[in-house]
Structure 1
């Protein structure tokens, strides 16, 4: 067995889940394989012949890769909420929604996502914890492949093939339209309903839980519950709140057109590729939900918009970062590729400026990212590459020329 030991992982987050035994995981996987015709695997082996190939800790899941025979693997994902006070009806409903959404995407598109074979929201099973069992998706993470120059195919060719492939995948989500912002649930009669939005909550002791809100008929109602204003907490917070609120007015949100699906974490670590840059899988659909169409599936992938979220962007001098010019070039390519895939129609109208719309959306929802995104927005709106922070400081101090800055932000966001 080549799995990691429990001491490699955060015991505060995963607790007793780290003690789930290899034998119980193999037994569960063998039973699922025997009970699930669509596994297309060999006849179910005795559990003693299977093995736990690898245990991986994500932020909110333990991922177990289990081999049951030659070239046949299953994946058992156990959420960090699967023990103690994380075991709530809300956490169970979030799992059910994820499964419903993944099965919907699998049934209606050819997007290569893991196939859900079985799930359980309770602890009444072989491993004593909630889980989702899916197919194993081969490939390597794009987080490493994007900068890997050791494979024979030229790096730029692989990158462009990956972006074109992703555009073809995501364009298929155009067929879905939903009446509310929230999560997708089965209604028991073969139909779908929109339920609450689910969010992770990290407690001070390291444990993880899931809370819920909504669903919401409008983006304004959603933002009313999720935007944290910080007007009175200091110079920087006051400035960031003013700029964010001003920018939010220009988000191209049209509630009457419904809401779209969004890949919940559309970043390179969740894209799997082969050595030629072909997409083999899109993984990690935790807490997938519907969103305003301008920040939905037609947005750019996260790793080509890093320059618009300065808190995470290392800068062009970092070894594993693209320069802003390179990122802009990849955005132009992706915009055209998605336009080709969508026949220049529908939500493609949002793609060209989606890095800006998404940055504003992030600033509104995540206080920790807000100031740096606002500085970036002020920099672009004013053309002042070096003075944006000074402008923000003056604004928060009550000494800045807010009417003029507001006009510059409006002009920047309104330009074609």
Structure 2
């Protein structure tokens, strides 16, 4: 029976450990009895060095677990690694550091991957960010959240304003050709608070058409240049320290370029109520 670490893919663990040791110059191990962490698109294991430092080994799902073709997965891996390296080299935005990557299986480890630093601090999702009064509590093991004050939310949102302002300084000559399809669902949800379903499919398509028509207008007046934006900003992808300083923003796998007006819109981060949203909006604007 194979070790649990190989649940999602058979890969050359010895090659991964050897590569990690060469890159950092210290001995390292992986816990082969532990299941990889996973999302719908990726699985993750951790490389632990003898001084306690951990690196993240992140791979796209493959085979029956993959919602994308191998070709698309390869493009996403290459795109995310390139985005992270660009941000690390040209901005002060806190993102993981990429130590090695490959978009194909043509490497000694045998799978597409990104080997990167581990985010420090804890996920903003650990905090009671949304203040949702109707949160489901029927589970046998309900989630418990750390308290966060309005001042704490204000501090986080003002930092986001500064981060988006810095992103806006980096312009690109073309809009991402994949952007329209990958972002239409998220934009529709923000407009109508609805999901793609047969009951509202017509509204979904109408909203998408409006977005197609709006993009040229949103991009006008900015020298026909575009800015880089994070495709999936929510509390689970944002890490903070004990003082709520943002320490890392992860998961740039489908980063795209788009109109600056979109970048400078206040991020919802997974949902504050409308009344609770007003103050963070002001603080986000203050950070710009």
Relative to the length of structure 2, the TM-score reads 0.73
Aligned partners of 2:210, 2:103: CA distance in 1, in Å?
42
Q: Residue 277 of structure 1 corresponds to which residue in structure 2?
A: 244
- Which sections of structure 2, spanning at least 5 residues, go unmatched? 130-143, 183-197
State the Cα distance separating 1:292 from its structure 2 match.
2.0
Change (3 A) 1:72 1:325: same
- Which string of whole-angstrom CA distances, capped at 9 and with x for unpartnered residues, describes residues 327-355 of structure 1? 122112211222xxxxxxxxxxxxxxxxx
- Which sections of structure 1, spanning at least 5 residues, go unmatched? 7-15, 183-195, 202-233, 307-321, 339-416
> In the alignment, is residue 59 of structure 1 matched against residue 40 of structure 2?
yes
**Do the aligned partners of 2:127 and 2:146 also contact (CA within 8 Å) in 1?**
no
State the Cα distance separating 1:76 from its structure 2 match.
0.6
> In the alignment, is residue 109 of structure 1 matched against residue 91 of structure 2?
yes
**Do the aligned partners of 1:79 and 1:131 also contact (CA within 8 Å) in 2?**
yes
Aligned partners of 2:273, 2:248: CA distance in 1, in Å?
27
Aligned partners of 1:150, 1:96: CA distance in 2, in Å?
36
2:36 aligns to what SS in structure 1? Answer: strand
- Which string of whole-angstrom CA distances, capped at 9 and with x for unpartnered residues, describes residues 257-289 of structure 1? 321111111111100111211111000010211
Q: Residue 269 of structure 2 corresponds to which residue in structure 1?
A: 303
State the Cα distance separating 1:150 from its structure 2 match.
4.6
Alignment of 1:160-179 (within 5 A): 160-179=154-173
State which of 108, 123, 126 in structure 1 corresponds to 2:105.
123
**Do the aligned partners of 1:199 and 1:287 also contact (CA within 8 Å) in 2?**
no
Aligned partners of 2:99, 2:178: CA distance in 1, in Å?
24
Q: Residue 253 of structure 1 corresponds to which residue in structure 2?
A: 218
State the Cα distance separating 1:166 from its structure 2 match.
2.1
How many aligned positions are there? 252
Higher relative contact order (CA 8 A, sep 6+): 2
State the Cα distance separating 1:113 from its structure 2 match.
0.2
Change (3 A) 1:100 1:238: closer
Q: Residue 334 of structure 1 corresponds to which residue in structure 2?
A: 284
State the Cα distance separating 1:116 from its structure 2 match.
0.6
State the Cα distance separating 1:164 from its structure 2 match.
1.9
**Do the aligned partners of 1:17 and 1:83 also contact (CA within 8 Å) in 2?**
no
- Which string of whole-angstrom CA distances, capped at 9 and with x for unpartnered residues, describes residues 45-74 of structure 1? 1x5xx1337721012000112212222111
State the Cα distance separating 1:118 from its structure 2 match.
0.3
Aligned partners of 1:293, 1:236: CA distance in 2, in Å?
29
Change (3 A) 1:54 1:67: farther
> In the alignment, is residue 28 of structure 1 matched against residue 22 of structure 2?
no
Which one has the largest radius of gyration? Answer: 1
Relative to the length of structure 1, the TM-score reads 0.53
State the Cα distance separating 1:123 from its structure 2 match.
1.8
Alignment of 1:80-229 (within 5 A): 80-81=61-62, 88-147=70-129, 150=146, 155-182=149-176, 196-197=177-178
Q: Residue 391 of structure 1 corresponds to which residue in structure 2?
A: none
- Which string of whole-angstrom CA distances, capped at 9 and with x for unpartnered residues, describes residues 105-131 of structure 1? 110111110011101122233442110
1:107 aligns to what SS in structure 2? Answer: helix
**Do the aligned partners of 2:167 and 2:228 also contact (CA within 8 Å) in 1?**
yes
> In the alignment, is residue 291 of structure 1 matched against residue 273 of structure 2?
no
**Do the aligned partners of 1:94 and 1:198 also contact (CA within 8 Å) in 2?**
no
Aligned partners of 2:204, 2:106: CA distance in 1, in Å?
48
2:40 aligns to what SS in structure 1? Answer: coil
**Do the aligned partners of 1:146 and 1:159 also contact (CA within 8 Å) in 2?**
no
1:276 aligns to what SS in structure 2? Answer: coil
Across the aligned residues of Structure 1 and Structure 2, the Cα RMSD in angstroms comes to 3.5
Change (3 A) 1:103 1:20: same
**Do the aligned partners of 1:300 and 1:334 also contact (CA within 8 Å) in 2?**
yes
